[in-house]
Chain A
Amino acid sequence: MTALLEFDRVGRRFTTPRGPIKAVDDVSFSVFPGDVICLVGESGCGKTTTGKMVTGLVRPTSGRVLFEGRDIWAMPEREFKTYRKAVQIVHQDPYASLNPVHTVYQTLSAPLLHHKLAHGREEAMTQIVRLLQIVELTPPQDFLEKYPHQLSGGQRQRVSVARALTLNPRLIVADEAVSMVDVSIRVSLLNMLLRLRSELGVTFIFITHDLGVAKHFAAGGRIGVMYLGRIVELQPATQLIHSPLHPYTKALLAAVPEADPDLTRNKERVKLRSLEIPSLLHLPSGCTFHPRCPLYENGLCDVERPELAAVGEQRAVACHVVARELGQATTEGSSVAAGSLREGGVAR
C-alpha cells in the first residue's frame, strides 16, 4: 500500500543574519491513510516547519515530500493543486486563524464557491450547515452571521476545522490546535478531531509540545519525538509512553508535571548533564543530544550522528547506545533500516 504522505530525507535550511540553520534535518517517515501521527518536541525542534512542509507552504531545501508516491515539487501545476486541496492546516491561535472582517458564512463559503463545489448561496448554505454540524457548532444558523470576535476560542477553532474540511481533504495538519484553548474544553476538541478520522477517514498529523495531549490524541497511532530538527524516536503512542527508548523522550516524560500531588512530587526525574539548550546555529557534533545525554559515551556519541533505526515492530530510535543494546546498527548506511519504517502502517 502506498503511503499517503512520505518524507524522504527532508531537510530545510534557513539563512539568518547570524548564519545558516537547519530547522529540519534529514527527516523521514510515512503516513498512511487513516493514520494518526503526533509530532512532539520543544520549541526549536522543527515540528512546525515540518508541518508547513507537509502542507506545501514551505519548500524543503533537501529531500523529497511525496504525496501518494509522487514528489509534490516536481508535479505539474494541476496535480499540485489537487495535492494542495487534499492537505489542509488548522492553526494554533484561534484569534489569528480567522479573517476578522469575514463572517463565518463568508469564511466557509469562499473555498466552496471558488472551487465550484457549490454554485450559489443555497448550495453553499446547505454544505456549510452540514460542516458546522460536523464540528459540533449547533445550531448552525446561530453561527453563520457571527464574526470571529463574537466567538469563543474553542468555537473559533471549530470554524477553523470546518474551513479545513470544506475541500474534503485527505490529510489535516493540526499545529498546536488546542494549545491556546481553555483546558476544560481541550478534550472535546480533540475528540471531535478523532471523530473526523473515524467517520470521514481523514488522516492526521498533530503537532504539539504537550505530551498529555499527544497521548490522548495519538492513542491509536504513533508519536514522533523531535529534537533540534531530527526525529529521535518514533513509536506507537502507548508504547512510547510506557516504554520510551530515547533518553530525551525519557527526560521529557519524567519532566512533565502531573495533576496528582503524590505522584508528581515523588516522580523520578531524569538528570541531564547540562541545562543549556544548544542553539541551532552551533549544533553539537555527532548526536546533537550528546552534551545533555545521561547515556553519553565519549568517542561515539560526539563523533557519529545516529540514524533513526528500526528496533522492533514499528519502533525506531536514533541513539547508538540504545540501539546497540537492542541489537541494531545505527551508523551510516543503516538508514536502510529506517526504510522498514515506511512499510509499517498503524495497528488498527
Chain B
Amino acid sequence: MSTSMPSPAVAESPFAYPDAVLSVRDLWVEYRAYRGMVQAVRGVSFDLRKGESLALIGESGSGKTTLSLALIRLLTRSALVRRGTMTYRRRDGKEISVLSLSPDELRRFRWKECAMVFQSALNSLNPVLKVWDQMYDTIKVHEPMSKQEARERALERLRLVQLDAERVLNSYPHELSGGMRQRVLLAMALLLNPQILLLDEPTTALDILTQRSIIDLLRRLKETLGFSTIFISHDLSLAAELADRVATIYAGQVVEIGEVRATFYRPCHPYTLGLMRAVPSLTASDSEMTSIPGSPPDLIDLPPGCKFQPRCGYATEQCTASQPELYAVGPHHGAACFNWQVLSREHEDAGKP
C-alpha cells in the first residue's frame, strides 16, 4: 500500500493526536553565541499521548539538549524562544500554555506536572546533603505536607525503584553507586506523581548490567504508574527498548517521527536509515555497517535547503534548493524528505514486515 504522491504539506497526521497530554507546535529556540545566533531548535512539532513513551533521538549538535531544556523552561538567559507553543493538558482536562506561565505557576508545573531527570545523574545530587534532605526539600517546595507524610512518600518511592529505602534515605550521594543514584533521581522525579517524565540520556554513564536494570525498571514503572515519558538520547537501542514512538532530530528539526516499529523497520528519512546502519551492534553483520559521511551542520550558519543534504546518499537537486516538509509516509509516520518514497520502495523490495 504505497501512496504515489506525498500527502499535501505539513499534514497534521504524522504527529498530531487528539488526546495529547503535551502538544508542541512549531517551536523555535535560538541562543546567542559570540559568533552569532545558534538556531538550536527549528520548528519542532510533536504530540505526547497519555501513558506513552516518546524517544527523541539525536547526536551532538542536533539541538536535542536545548529542546529538552525548553520543554521544562530551563533555558539559560541567552536563549530565546522565538516562536511556537507548548500546550499541556492537566489531569482535570484544563489546558495551559507552558510558555506563558508565570514563575510561580512554573514552579507548580515543574515536578508536579512534569519532572526531569538530567543527563549527568551522578552530578545532579547535592553531595553535602543526605538523600532524605533533598527529597524533603523537593516536596516542601512543590506540595507542602507534614514531615511524616513526606517521609512516607519518599520511602514508598524509593521502594518503587527497588532500593533499600531506609538505608538509602539516610545516605549521602557518594555512598551510593552510579546505578543507585540514578534510581534515587527517578524516585525523586516521581515524588509528586507527574504526568510527564523527561529523561535526558538516562543510561549513558552506566555499565551494561546496571543499564539493563534501569531499562527494566523504567519499563515496569511506566506500566504500573502510567505516566508519559519523553526521553532524549543518542542511543537508538534505548528507543528500541522503551519507546512507543520515535522521533529523530537533526539540525534542530524533527526529520522523522513514527511508531517504533515503523521507524525502525521502515525508516523513510536517510538520516534515520543512516543511523541504523552506523551503530555497531551485536546482531548486525559487519559488512552492512557504514558511517554517515561528513559532520553535522553549523547551527549558526545553516545552508539553504535540506540540512542533511550534504551527507545524504539520496539527495537530488531539489534538496539543495528547498527545505522538505514533514510528509505523511504512513499512518502516524512522517519523514521530512522529498525522496521518502525511494526509501519506502527499498523496504518493500526487501520484503520488510
User: Which residues of chain A have a CB within 8 Å of any CB of chain B?
Assistant: 42-43, 152-154, 182-191, 209-213, 215-216, 219, 241, 251-253, 255-265, 269, 272, 275, 277
Contacts and interface: CB of A to CB of B under 8 A. Distances in A.
A154 B295 contact: yes
A259 B234 CA distance: 12
Interface of B: 59-60, 177, 207-213, 215-216, 234-241, 260-261, 264, 274-276, 278-284, 286, 289-293, 295-296
Question: Which 5 A/B pairs are nearest by Cβ-Cβ distance?
Answer: A188-B291, A42-B207, A255-B212, A257-B237, A216-B280
Nearest to B274: A184
A210 B279 CA distance: 11
B278 A260 contact: no
A275 B213 contact: yes
A154 B211 CA distance: 25
Contact of A264 (B211, B241, B284): B241
Contacts of B238: 257
Residue of A154, A211, A256, A259 ringed by the most chain B CB atoms within 10 A:
A259
B283 A258 contact: yes
Residue of B208, B234, B260 ringed by the most chain A CB atoms within 10 A:
B208
B218 to A, nearest CB: 12
Contacts of B177: 277
Contacts of A42: 207-210
Residue of A43, A215, A253, A257 ringed by the most chain B CB atoms within 10 A:
A257
A187 B208 contact: no
Given A183-B59, A262-B261, A251 B295 contact: no
A265 B241 contact: yes
B276 A259 contact: yes
Nearest to B205: A43
Nearest to A178: B280
Given A183-B59, A183-B234, A185-B292, A251 B280 contact: no
A258 B240 contact: yes
A212 B210 CA distance: 17
Nearest to B289: A187
B208 A259 contact: no
Contact of B281 (A43, A258, A275): A258
A288 to B, nearest CB: 15
Contact of A43 (B207, B215, B276, B283): B207
A341 B240 CA distance: 39
A253 B208 CA distance: 9
Contacts of B237: 256-259, 264
B295 A152 contact: yes
Contacts of A182: 59-60, 234, 296
A257 B216 CA distance: 11
B208 A211 contact: yes
B291 A187 contact: yes
A36 to B, nearest CB: 13
Contacts of A269: 212, 216
Contacts of B208: 42, 209, 211, 252, 255-256
